[in-house]
């Protein structure tokens, strides 16, 4: 399995989710299955079926998280020395050259991406266009609404 890049904060969030699944959700679903079994006939027991489906989801998610954390390449942006270039975990201030709108994004791993928090996946079109560039560079990004040009105003490692 190849490495899975993630920020230090992203790894912490996955570890917290894994801990919650193992210590809270898994025991709850085991209890729900036991209670449903106690009700008798399992062939027509919707609570039992629901609990078994939930258990399968939880076990699958636990395996997924353990795999990702086991293959994690954790990057602390404060320890980066990329000489002003855009790299994984860096924070980039951009200006849309068409509208003049200024935006800030942090380039993060796939599981951490959340546009509401200005975190874009390293696999996204905008991140792929930015990687390796520096402040002052202009990049063209293929968006669903057409090509957009951005100027990189500043690259930070925070």
CA torsion sign for 77, 83, 87, 93 is: positive
Pair of tokens at residue 157? 């490692």
Intervals of the chain under pLDDT 50: none
Spatial contact of 155 and 91, defined as CB atoms under 8 Å apart: yes
What is the C-alpha to C-alpha distance for residues 14 and 12, in angstroms, rounded to an integer?
5
CA-CA-CA-CA dihedral for 29, 31, 34, 38, to nearest 10: -120
Q: What is the pLDDT of residue 78?
A: 83
Spatial contact of 8 and 76, defined as CB atoms under 8 Å apart: yes
Q: Residue 92: in which H helix or E strand, if any?
A: strand 91-96
For the stretch 11-26, pLDDT in tens is 999 999 999 999 999 9
Q: What is the pLDDT of residue 40?
A: 74
Q: What is the pLDDT of residue 137?
A: 94
Q: What is the pLDDT of residue 1?
A: 54
Q: Has this prediction a pTM greater than 0.85?
A: no
């Amino acid at each position: 399995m190849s490495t899975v890049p993630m920020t230090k904060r992203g790894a912490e969030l996955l570890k917290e989710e894994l801990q919650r699944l193992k210590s809270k959700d898994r025991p709850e679903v085991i209890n729900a299955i036991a209670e449903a079994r106690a009700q008798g006939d399992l062939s027509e027991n919707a609570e039992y079926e629901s609990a078994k489906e939930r258990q399968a989801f939880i076990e699958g998610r636990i395996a997924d998280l353990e795999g990702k954390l086991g293959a994690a390449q954790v990057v602390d942006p404060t320890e980066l020395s990329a000489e002003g270039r855009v790299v994984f975990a860096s924070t980039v201030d951009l200006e849309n050259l068409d509208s003049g709108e200024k935006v800030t994004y942090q380039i993060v791993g796939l599981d951490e991406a959340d546009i509401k928090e200005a975190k874009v996946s390293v696999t996204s079109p905008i991140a792929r266009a930015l990687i390796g560039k520096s402040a002052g560079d202009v990049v063209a990004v293929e968006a669903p609404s057409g090509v957009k040009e951005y100027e990189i105003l500043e690259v930070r490692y925070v």
